[in-house]
Amino acid sequence: MASTQSPSSRGYLFLFIAVLFWGGSASLAKYLFTTKFDTLIITQTRTSLSFVLLAAYFAFKDRSVFRIALADLYQFALVGVFGIAVTNFSYYFTVQLTTVATAILVQYTAPVMVMLYAVFISKEEELNGLKLVSLLLALGGCYFAVSGGTGTEIQLSGWGLVAGPVSALSFAFMLLFSKRVLRKYPVWTMLVYAFGFSMLFWLVVNPPWIIAAKGYTAEDWGIFWLFAVVSILIPHALFMKSLSLLDATSVGIASTMEPVVAIVVAYIVLGESLSGVQAFGALAVVAAVLLLQLRPLMIKLAGTDHEK
């Protein structure tokens, strides 16, 4: 039986589930970083182990996933290295150098860059009032949700002034360039090759013999496998699927739900505080995402009226 949901509705549904996984795994990441694991090994194993799982699965299930034109290989390399590896590491490095609030707020300026590029440079998207209001509402809501409105957690200095903007630029690049690749290739092909190139990049940065020298236990590797699946494999597959159904700006704006989910999960699981200002900011982000869906609904209703 065919789905009665529109492509845009399915796109937002996939994205919402993705940010649930991303936001939920943020508390797990915080625990891992503050115990025995460093940022590099967590970032590296996330994509590397995800590639191993996907490659092994499709090697037996559907080898057509691996078929690409050699001329397009560089595109997957760019998504894997600059879109995934650099985005992940620069974000976590910003967290290490500054604060979580700073890292989140700087990275989520990416939707502004995406909108400016897609509207004024590539001209792939049209600028409309609803999208602009949604962007401003999401950015403002994200600020209040993360900082509580005081701004005391916002600290950007030293190498953080480099790492923070890099995380935003690379995230914007991932949104725009992944959208380009997804016009030609399916989601699973994109993920297999992007994760594969990310893995190769990390193997150069942090070779296997250095990892082996750390003496990680079987339990440690179990944690790495679990974290890879819940923090990037599942959510990134859903994220890329949503990107294949929605425009890059809408995906970027709706992604600001991630810090909202992270804050709520941290409040429930870790017992962290949640002020009224943060709750207000969270509601603003939710409102921004709902507002984005008004335009497709209006177009659909207009089409229905026209048919009548």
Q: What is the dihedral of CA 92, 93, 96, 99, to 10 degrees?
A: -70
CA distance 235 to 31: 19
pLDDT the model gives residue 32 = 83
Residue 229 pLDDT exceeds 50? yes
pLDDT tens digit string along 142-177?
Answer: 888 877 766 665 666 777 788 889 999 999 999 999
pLDDT tens profile 241-264: 999 999 999 999 999 888 888 778
Residues 127-138: tens digit of each pLDDT: 888 888 889 999
Residues 139, 249 contacting (CB under 8 angstroms)? no
- Looking at residue 98, what is its pLDDT? 75
Q: Is 89 exposed, middle or buried (0-12, 13-18, 19+ CB in 10 A)?
A: buried
Average pLDDT score, the chain: 86
| Residues 256, 260, 262: CA angle, nearest 5 degrees | 110
| pLDDT at position 302 over 70 | no
Share of the chain above pLDDT 90, in %: 49
**pLDDT on residue 31:** 77
The pTM for the full model equals: 0.87
Query: 301 falls in which pLDDT band (50, 70, 90)?
Result: very low
Q: pLDDT tens across 191-212, in order?
A: 999 999 999 999 999 999 999 9
Averaged pLDDT, 83-92 = 90
